[in-house]
């Protein structure tokens, strides 16, 4: 059992989250977004360690391109964006009731249909970018059977809320590290499998270049594509200036196959990393720069 202090802290966080969810679902979207922008701005000023991490990571990526003042302003915009992102994720039931296509549109959907037309399943490679919860909901609500691989929340009560939102939107959550058979079944059934591999997590991976630095990146999608012949399709959702969201399905990744399995994994994972970087560079304020993306480095233990 967790120590008493930790249980009390988790109970307080859970209570605040439940209360905030109820409030944001009652308010009009504009009012809810304004509230969360304000809270995000306060958090950016008060949460020193998290603010410094955001600025440090942006400096690693953009230090030679932007001034310190520009980087700090961008860091503030990152926090503000995720305030709005949280509003729309929490209000997903209201969005579904109104019809998700009233808020989300997509370009390049023919690439998804073409990949599914080959009958071997599709891994849609996206990230913690824009509003990934709305992305999954859009795919499901537009008639594509979809499951997503996601890390479980530290508090089972919060995890039930997140998984419940996903299930209500029509897509199934597969807990990371616990659903190998379900992943295989999804692809064999020619369905869409959503994977977010833009973070440094404890999974098998290789080091590839990301914003000019070595980043430990999961090789799972490449291994699955090599073994099962499924498509690898990068796709990302971003919030537009008009307050609506746009999903962009990029070109499918063509696997390099030379017979050197280890080197092919690196080359193909680099292609995925490049797709992530291109998307993030288009809208850098919409990616989770507070995450320790370059924490693990070559030569260090797992």
pLDDT 10s digits, 279-296: 999 999 999 999 999 999
Predicted TM-score (pTM) of the model is: 0.93
What is the average pLDDT score of the chain? 95
- Residue appearing with tokens 């080197």: 263
Residues 230-249 have pLDDT tens digits of 999 999 999 999 999 999 99
Rounded to whole angstroms, the Cα distance separating 201 from 168 reads 27
Residue 96 lies in a domain: no
| Residue finishing a domain among 90, 117, 138 | 90
Rounded to whole angstroms, the Cα distance separating 42 from 227 reads 48
| Residue finishing a domain among 34, 69, 90 | 90
Residues 16-71 have pLDDT tens digits of 999 999 999 999 999 999 999 999 999 999 999 999 999 999 999 999 999 999 99
- Check whether residue 113 and residue 55 sit in a common domain: no
Residue 262 lies in a domain: yes
- Check whether residue 181 and residue 139 sit in a common domain: yes
Residue 302 lies in a domain: no
In order of 216, 291, 295, 296, the CA distances from 300 in angstroms are 11, 19, 10, 7
Percent above pLDDT 70 for the chain: 99
- Check whether residue 79 and residue 106 sit in a common domain: no
- Check whether residue 47 and residue 162 sit in a common domain: no
Range of the domain at 46: 1-90
- Check whether residue 64 and residue 141 sit in a common domain: no
Which among 187, 258, 259 is positioned nearest to 220, based on CA atoms? 187
- Check whether residue 169 and residue 64 sit in a common domain: no
- What is the number of domains present in the chain? 2
């Amino acid at each position: 059992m967790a120590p008493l202090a930790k249980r009390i802290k988790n109970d307080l966080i859970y209570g605040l989250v439940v209360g905030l969810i109820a409030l944001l679902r009652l308010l009009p979207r504009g009012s809810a977004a304004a509230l969360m922008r304000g809270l995000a701005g306060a958090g950016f000023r008060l949460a020193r360690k998290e603010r410094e991490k955001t600025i440090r990571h942006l400096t690693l990526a953009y230090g030679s391109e932007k001034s310190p003042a520009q980087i700090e302003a961008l860091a503030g915009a990152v926090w503000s964006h995720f305030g709005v992102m949280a509003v729309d994720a929490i209000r997903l039931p209201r969005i579904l009731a109104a019809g998700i296509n009233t808020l989300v549109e997509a370009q390049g959907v023919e690439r998804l249909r073409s990949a599914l037309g080959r009958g071997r399943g599709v891994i849609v490679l996206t990230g913690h970018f824009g509003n990934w919860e709305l992305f999954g909901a859009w795919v499901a609500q537009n008639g594509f059977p979809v499951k997503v691989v996601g890390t479980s929340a530290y508090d089972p009560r919060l995890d039930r809320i997140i998984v419940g939102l996903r299930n209500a939107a029509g897509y199934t959550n597969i807990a990371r590290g616990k659903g190998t058979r379900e992943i295989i079944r999804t692809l064999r059934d020619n369905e869409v499998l959503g994977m977010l591999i833009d973070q440094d997590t404890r999974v098998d991976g290789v080091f590839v270049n990301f914003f000019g630095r070595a980043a430990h990146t999961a090789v799972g999608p490449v291994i699955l594509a090599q073994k099962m012949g499924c498509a690898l399709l990068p796709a990302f959702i971003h919030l537009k200036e008009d307050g609506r969201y746009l999903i962009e399905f990029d070109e499918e990744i063509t696997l390099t196959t030379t017979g050197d399995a280890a080197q092919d994994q690196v080359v193909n994972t680099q292609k995925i990393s490049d797709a992530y970087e291109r998307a993030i560079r288009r809208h850098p304020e919409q990616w989770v720069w507070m995450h320790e993306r370059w924490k693990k480095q070559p030569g260090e233990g797992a």
